[in-house]
Amino acid sequence: EPAAEEQRFSLREVLDTFRSCLSENREVLVADYVAGWRGLVRFLNSLGSVFSFISKDATNKIQILDNFLQSENRVHYASVQSMVQFELENELVDLTKRGKFPESGCRTLLRLHRALRWLELFLERLRTSGEDGKTSAMCSEAYNESLAQHHPWIVRTAAGVAFCALPGRATFFEVMNAGAPDQVVAMLGDALPLISEVYQVVEDVYAHNDLLQLP
């Protein structure tokens, strides 16, 4: 039943899905990556409707990747590495300006990848913050160090407004539903190295293929 489902929802499980992303030979599995993102969006939605312009964009990108995972080319979309190789070999990516492939897997996943860096920076600030820490300040600092560089003024402004609506640290910890504050801090300490590793593997694949600036 949905109510019980809602209650069990914990950010711990979401962050755990990033654990399953990395295969033994350090391939990043797209299905697990997308599942992790779906959980994050669910968490974001539980924070309130001010964030819906953010979650809509993320949901749209998740959907694009999901469609590739269901398509006849799905074997090529099993990992980030195979996706990059397949799309580049078959010239399915707009490399310098937007054109025939505005929804390539490579450019779509890059947007989520950049947002994962924001998440890493934000959660690290949250983890090391004191009781009087301001989530909105942590959030905008993390944003300015990462995603903001890729967003036009209008998006940066809307994001800044949304950040002001973030609940305080105590409430934020409660919504995460991962136990008492010290348990949340411990959970973040476990999860962050995993997120950071997934981020780094994807970053290396994109850098190696010169894809970090895809339009």
Q: Which residues bind ligand 1PZ (CB under 6 A)?
A: 40, 43-44, 51, 53-54, 57-58, 111, 114-115, 118-119, 139, 143, 147, 155, 159, 166
Q: Which is nearer to ligand 1PZ, 43 or 77 (CB)?
A: 43
Q: Which is nearer to ligand 1PZ, 35 or 119 (CB)?
A: 119
Q: Minimum distance from CB of 34 to ligand 1PZ (Å)?
A: 13
Q: Which is nearer to ligand 1PZ, 74 or 98 (CB)?
A: 98
Q: Which is nearer to ligand 1PZ, 52 or 90 (CB)?
A: 52
Q: Minimum distance from CB of 24 to ligand 1PZ (Å)?
A: 28
Q: Minimum distance from CB of 75 to ligand 1PZ (Å)?
A: 26
Q: Minimum distance from CB of 102 to ligand 1PZ (Å)?
A: 8
Residue nearest to ligand 1PZ (CB): 57
Q: Minimum distance from CB of 60 to ligand 1PZ (Å)?
A: 8
Q: Which is nearer to ligand 1PZ, 153 or 182 (CB)?
A: 153
Please state the three-class secondary structure of the chain as a single string. CHHHHHHHCCHHHHHHHCHHHECCCCCEEHHHHHHHHHHHHHHHHHCCHHHHHHHHHHHHHHHHHHHHHHCCCHHHHCEHHHHHHHHHHCCCCCCCCCCCCCCCHHHHHHHHHHHHHHHHHHHHHHHHCCCCCCHHHHHHHHHHHCHHHHCCHHHHHHHHHHHHCCCCHHHHHHHHCCCCHHHHHHHHHHHHHHHHHHHHHHHHHHHHCCCCCCC
Residue whose structure tokens are 């967003």: 151
Residue whose structure tokens are 């136990």: 179
Q: Which is nearer to ligand 1PZ, 23 or 67 (CB)?
A: 67
Q: Minimum distance from CB of 159 to ligand 1PZ (Å)?
A: 4
Residues 6+ apart with CB under 8 A from 29: 20, 21, 22, 23, 78, 79
Q: How far apart are CA 72 and CA 68, in angstroms?
A: 8
